[in-house]
Chains A and B, each alone.
Chain A
Amino acid sequence: MTMTTITRNFLTTPEVDVEADVQTEEMLVNMGPQHPSTHGVLRLVLRTDGEMVLEAVPHIGYLHRCAEKIGENLAYFQYVPYTDRMDYLAGMNNNVGWALAVEKLAKFEVPRRAAYIRVVICELNRIASHLVSMGAYGLDLGAFTPFLYAFREREFILDLFEAACGARLTYSYATIGGVTHDLSREWIDKCGEFLDYFAPKIDEYDNLLSFNHIFVKRTADLGILTKQAALDYCITGPMLRGSGINWDLRKVKPYSCYEEFEFDVPVGDGRMGAVGDCWDRYYVRIQEMRQSAKILRQALGRLKDMPGSHRVATPRNFKVPAGEVYMETEGARGQLGFYIESQGGVIPYRVKARGPSFCNLAVTNDLCRECLLADVPAIVGSIDVVMGEVDR
């Protein structure tokens, strides 16, 4: 609806159209790098005609920390903390992704217990990351309560991680050869207790936020991502599945024993609006939390009595044979890929991190066409970017 039709419908004296000859100009609005709704240091330059956004151009690079250049100067083990800081909300997934890539290039397998521990921590971190995504999304749209509910649950997960490896955000727990410390039986019991506590909480979020009339009005039928656009831009993760596309790397190309678990892949179905709108992407994340809990129960049950070591002993000067590898894992926001080229030796020749948020953010301009200004945080929030992954 343009401004002229709005005035025509609601103006009391329809024969006099006071806005017929008003000159309008396009305006460039800067949603600057410091903004509460842009999920980090993202700068969006919006070209608006009144309230309607014609173009939204993202400018990134404010969190560029030269991770790839640093990768060319550090040994493989030393690089693990740098992978933490890429997607800092789901650090375990990044660690596991790097470790799997290096292990694939160096051609050795980790023990089964280590692979199961990796699955446990990755899924727990996926739940924690989706909690932040859900809470922050509600916060962007003005729903202040679910944010703290989500963070209350996230505190339990962070306490578990702190017990496992000592850190709450930047773990460096999954390293090359396995994980640094084993998980004790008490830890596994505590994690089971957390899952019992957490199961009804997701229903609570549904009651609070997902089916809330205002939330649905603000997110349904908005930012529709078609299948063709999703494949063309190589969108991955919950954003791809929100468009009704059944593609999860844990099912398509399983790694780290994921093929031994029973879980569903939630996809968007357009029940609140169109398939691939913001609500679908949001709801896929809620459903993924339920599926992660399902994987966790299976993994914890089998991990309790599983023999084996949590780590393969690797030599101090760990050399990787010459060659290259590109290994992708399903991170919380999409497929995180590492391209490593080695020329023999202790230090890689080239490290490239393919951040899922980098690829997902490229579609912002297409999604924000012809939307209102207040819809921009709704769309950017549904993409769920972490700038650490975009800029690396």
Chain B
Amino acid sequence: MAGQAIHIRSRSVYTSKPMNASEMIGLIETACAGAVVAKQADGLHPWVSVKPERWREVATFVRDDARLKLDMLRSITGLDYPDKKQLAAAYDLISFDHRHELCIKVFVDRPALPARPVIASVAEVWRAADWHERETYDLLGIAFEGHPDSVTDQDGTHPRRILLPDDWTGHPLRKDYVFPREYGGIPGSVEIDWAQKPDYPK
């Protein structure tokens, strides 16, 4: 009995029909007309960018459509582009049945803090988005609207912070973030402008 294992042979039979990136993007463009803003189907990381106000509709479509069936949300990466005055959230998705993957990005305008850009929350579409959206808000300041774990403060409603303490101010992964000199009486580090040092790699 001990040591006996029931192993499933790795070459299991599954009905998967993987699509390539341009087919998937084409399907999204036809089904959710007008939602796609930009796309890049070739390259290492094919992505399609949708309008923030249509995002929840596109998310529900890509999860439920039988040919796409992108039901695993692997990661949400928040991105900051201060020169283009935009913030973005990149949703990396993969399909369990079809084994194809796609990245969907949502770009929003980057207002000056304390105003926060808003993207619709997809925590009801993929439960994995719950913690990822909290982390993206925490580190980049994108407020996800309709998140199940939201708090309201004087600047609006936003998901509850997850990694940093609840009373932290600022969003560290922004490119213009200034590290605080002290937090709750504990002195922080001195702000060093690393780019000015002579041996900083160019």
Binding site for B on A (CB under 8 A): 60-61, 64, 66, 68-69, 72-73, 75, 104-105, 202-203, 206-207, 210-211, 229, 231-234, 245-248, 251-253, 263-267, 269, 271, 287, 290, 317, 323-326, 328, 335, 337, 339, 341, 345-347, 350, 352, 354, 358-359, 361-363, 391
Q: How large is the interface on B (under 10, 10 to 19, 20 to 34, 35 or more residues)?
A: 35 or more
Contact assessment for B74 and A350 in the assembled complex, using a CB-CB cutoff below 8 Å? no
A328 to B92, CA, bound (A): 11
Most B C-beta atoms less than 10 A away, residue of A231, A245, A363: A231
Contact assessment for A202 and B1 in the assembled complex, using a CB-CB cutoff below 8 Å? no
Residues of B near A324 (CB, < 8 A) are 44-45
Residues of A near B7 (CB, < 8 A) are 264-267, 287
Residues of B near A267 (CB, < 8 A) are 7-8
Residues of A near B201 (CB, < 8 A) are 75, 317, 346-347
- Chain B residues 77-99 with CB under 8 Å of chain A are 77-80, 90, 92, 96, 99
Cβ-closest 10 pairs across A and B: A264-B7, A206-B2, A234-B128, A61-B163, A354-B75, A232-B127, A352-B77, A346-B201, A64-B163, A362-B131
Contact assessment for B10 and A203 in the assembled complex, using a CB-CB cutoff below 8 Å? no
In the complex, residue of chain A having the shortest beta-carbon distance to the beta carbon of B45 = A324
Residues of A near B202 (CB, < 8 A) are 345-346
Given contacts A61-B163, A345-B202, A352-B75, contact A265 B8 (CB under 8 A): yes
Binding site for A on B (CB under 8 A): 1-3, 5-10, 12, 43-45, 71-75, 77-80, 90, 92, 96, 99, 103, 126-128, 130-132, 135, 139, 161-165, 172-173, 194, 201-202
Residues of A near B45 (CB, < 8 A) are 323-326
Residues of A near B161 (CB, < 8 A) are 61
A-B pairs with beta carbons under 8 Å apart, 12 shown: A68-B139, A72-B173, A210-B2, A232-B127, A234-B73, A234-B74, A324-B44, A324-B45, A337-B74, A346-B202, A347-B201, A354-B74
Contact assessment for A61 and B8 in the assembled complex, using a CB-CB cutoff below 8 Å? no
Contact assessment for B77 and A339 in the assembled complex, using a CB-CB cutoff below 8 Å? yes
